[in-house]
Amino acid sequence: MKRLLIKNVFWFILILAVLAILMSTFNFDTSKTIDISELVSKIKAGEVKSIEVEGQQMTASLNNETQVKIFKEEGEALSELLKNYDVSAEQIAALNIQISEKQNDWAALLLPALLPLLLLGALFYFFFRQAQGQNIKAMSFGESRVRETPKNAKNKITFKDVAGIKEAKEELHEVVEFLMNPKKFIALGAKIPKGVLLMGVPGTGKTLLARAVAGEANVPFFHISGSEFVEMFVGVGASRVRDLFKKAKKQAPCIVFIDEIDAVGRQRGSGLGGSHDEREQTLNQILVEMDGFDPRIGVIVVAATNRPDVLDPALLRPGRFDRRVTLNLPDINEREAILKIHAKNKPLGKGVNLRPVAERTPGFSGADLANLLNEAAILAARRDKHKIETQEIFESIEKVLLGPERKSHILNEHEKCITAYHEAGHALVAHMMPHADPVHKVSIISRGLAAGYTMKLPTEDRYLHSRSEFMADLAVLVAGWLTEKMIFNDVTTGASNDLKHATRLACQMVKEYSMGGELRTFGEREDMVFLGREIHERKDYSEKTAEKIDKEIESLLNKAEKTAEQILTDYREKLDIVASNLLEKETLERKEFASLFKDIKVPTKTKISKK
Ligand code: ADP
Ligand code: MG
Ligand code: ZN
């Protein structure tokens, strides 16, 4: 559109210029030109009525109503000239001489000279504009890639779509009220938070909650991810921040949501590498913008992170993200509520009760639960069902937990036998250890990367873990490997993952939880920026201590091994029974598995109690 206009203007100027040149070249004046002596003779004959002088050019009106032109030299006065030609003073006085400023002269003279210049100018302008068009594209790097949800958006998200996280919702309710009626708060001189920081592990609903605040208050929602600020070009991040806030301020009151703020908001000055400076500038710009705007205009910045520990302390200073809201993983009631929300637009079978599903999904995040119901719907569709039944939902729990079943991954007879004993070993030890979670399912159908699996599920949500529980976990983990060694006098690669987990757990127990022997933690973790997600451990202990730590880890693993070995030898015949059942049925559910142990007394768990 703009281009077209410029083109038209260009052609217009071109045609005009050509016309002007033509006009100035041809003389359209038809009056006769005479020379001075002729004029003098006409004056002497009394034929001239008046003379108009205009610079070099004179126009004489004659008595016979015609006009003639005469050229004289510049700077020469007409009266002087006439005197020189012997015209008497009376005759000169009788002439009506009018001297006018020369006007069109200049234009007439300069136009032909100026036109090419003008033309060139127009051409330059034209090309310049075109080039700038490309420039604008290059400059748009500095524009933020913000995604905007306007107010009154269709199917907007409100607090109704967020289950659980009650405290977080309460905390944010205040923000909603302010956005809906800022005047009320300002009138009372209330200070409104500029920034709210949502913290929680992935999938706990941070993004969802931020959206819900905007939806509830019915204000625009600007969504950008921390990583989107930083690009190849230095300085882009800062200019994107400026752009983002410029856009937001225009639409206030509104919510600016910066997802994954840890991507730019990591502690400054703690790393190396090129991207570091860029991040620092971006973070500085965010701080500048947040300090700069008047809280009364109603731009509230909501940021989300799952790594609050790495955030720059400057972000947490008053006047910035001073409201901090933690989102926890949902407990059993919250899980049920989340499942209900996501089951709303899915046809469930009549008998489906979501409570047992919530019971079986400890540790699931809101996102996991949403995914679970989605998987169940897909499974039901694949089975040509019109409703989702409990069976599909339960099967999907395993899929979400362990990855899809790999029926195509067929083990040969020998591998099957090894896997059956390996899993039977895990399951037997888990069953016989009172502090281990009860066995939920054992299977030798491969899933994800594992050849088989033993699923243990806690009976209730737990927030504290005791040493006895960890010891039981260790024993269960090494049991697979031990069984292979005991039965086949050899070990396979199938146990490597178990041992990796066991080693890591033992290491954590000693270093982080002081469950070895020492009352202190070792090796504080810190983030090294230039390695991205890599976590680097700061070695805050001596070589001698390192040796001691190694010994403690080893002793924990040894203890676990002894415990497991004891159980495996004591209940050797049970091991054979479980393994042969697995070979036959491939999968044992909780009840089937428990029924194999009817004849023996299983020790019960003792609660932690006072000595
Ligand atoms: P986060 O940003 O914390 O990683 P999201 O907000 O992106 O998590 O959550 C992903 C999805 O999980 C949401 O779109 C929603 O479907 C579901 N979800 C998470 N938490 C909840 C919740 N409390 N109530 C309802 N749905 C939830
Ligand atoms: Mg998110
Ligand atoms: Zn194993």
Ligand in nearest proximity to the CA of 502: 3
Residues 378 and 318 in one domain: no
Catalytic residues: 423
Residue 257 has a pLDDT of 92
- Whose Cα sits closest to atom 11 in ligand 1? 367
- Is 114 a member of any domain? no
Distance 467 CA to ligand 3 centre (A): 21
Three-class HEC string of 496-510 = HHHHHHHHHHHHHHH
Residues 169 and 275 in one domain: yes
Average pLDDT over residues 217-222: 90
Residues 463 and 577 in one domain: yes
Closest ligand 1 atom to Cα of 200 = 3
pLDDT, tens only, 107-154: 677 777 888 888 888 888 877 776 655 544 444 555 666 777 777 777
**Percent of the chain whose predicted confidence (pLDDT) is above 70:** 84
Distance 365 CA to ligand 1 centre (A): 8
Number of residues that make up the chain: 611
Residue 229 has a pLDDT of 74
Ligand in nearest proximity to the CA of 163: 1
pTM of the model: 0.63
Residue 148 has a pLDDT of 77
Residues 462 and 484 in one domain: yes
- Residue 207 φ/ψ, nearest 5 degrees: -60, -45
pLDDT, tens only, 144-182: 667 777 777 777 888 889 998 888 888 888 889 888 888
- Is 21 a member of any domain? no
Which has more confidence, 337 or 524? 337
- Whose Cα sits closest to atom 7 in ligand 1? 207
- Is 606 a member of any domain? no
Residues 205 and 287 in one domain: yes
Residues 246 and 200 in one domain: yes
Which protein residues are within 6 Å of ligand 1, measured from CB? Answer: 162-165, 200, 202-208, 304, 338, 341, 366-367, 370
- Asked which of 3-7, 10-14, 301-305 is least confident by mean pLDDT, the reply is 3-7
Closest ligand 1 atom to Cα of 165 = 23
Ligand 1 binding pocket mutation candidate from 172, 196, 208, 342 (most atoms within 8 A of CB): 208
Number of domains the chain is built from: 4
pLDDT, tens only, 342-377: 998 899 988 899 998 988 888 889 999 999 999 999
Collapsed DSSP state (helix, strand, coil) of residue 380: helix
Closest ligand 1 atom to Cα of 209 = 6
Residue 409 has a pLDDT of 63
Distance 552 CA to ligand 2 centre (A): 39
Mean pLDDT of the chain: 81
Neighbour-count burial for 580-589, b at 16+ CB within 10 Å, e otherwise: ebbbeeebbb
Separation CA 573–CA 411 (nearest Å): 24
Helix residue spans in 347-466 (DSSP H): 354-359, 366-382, 390-402, 413-432
Residues 340 and 370 in one domain: yes
Domain that holds residue 565: 413-597
Are the C-beta atoms of residues 358 and 339 closer than 8 Å to each other? yes
Closest ligand 1 atom to Cα of 205 = 6
pLDDT, tens only, 54-89: 777 788 888 877 888 887 776 677 777 777 777 777
Q: What is the DSSP string of 546-578?
A: HHHHHHHHHHHHHHHHHHHHHHHHHTHHHHHHH
Residues 257 and 381 in one domain: no
* Domain of residue 190, CATH code: 3.40.50.300
- Whose Cα sits closest to atom 15 in ligand 1? 367
Average pLDDT over residues 503-528: 75
Last residue of a domain, one of 376, 402, 428: 402
Which has more confidence, 31 or 542? 542
* Domain of residue 58, CATH code: 3.30.720.210
Query: What is the CA 403 to chain-centroid distance, rounded?
Result: 27
What tokens were used for 534? 């890599």
Helix and strand numbers, DSSP H then E, in the chain: 22, 16
Q: How many other CB atoms sit within 10 Å of the CB of residue 272? A: 10
Q: Is the Cα dihedral 431, 437, 443, 446 positive or negative?
A: negative
- Asked which of 133-142, 180-189, 586-595, 600-609 is least confident by mean pLDDT, the reply is 133-142
pLDDT, tens only, 549-573: 889 999 999 999 999 999 999 999 9
* Domain of residue 459, CATH code: 1.20.58.760
Residues 251 and 159 in one domain: yes
Residue 559 has a pLDDT of 94
Ligand in nearest proximity to the CA of 496: 3
- Is 179 a member of any domain? yes
With a cut of 80, say whether residue 526 has pLDDT above it: no
Residue 244 has a pLDDT of 86
Residues 273 and 398 in one domain: no
Distance 380 CA to ligand 2 centre (A): 28
Quote the longest CA-to-CA distance of the chain: 155
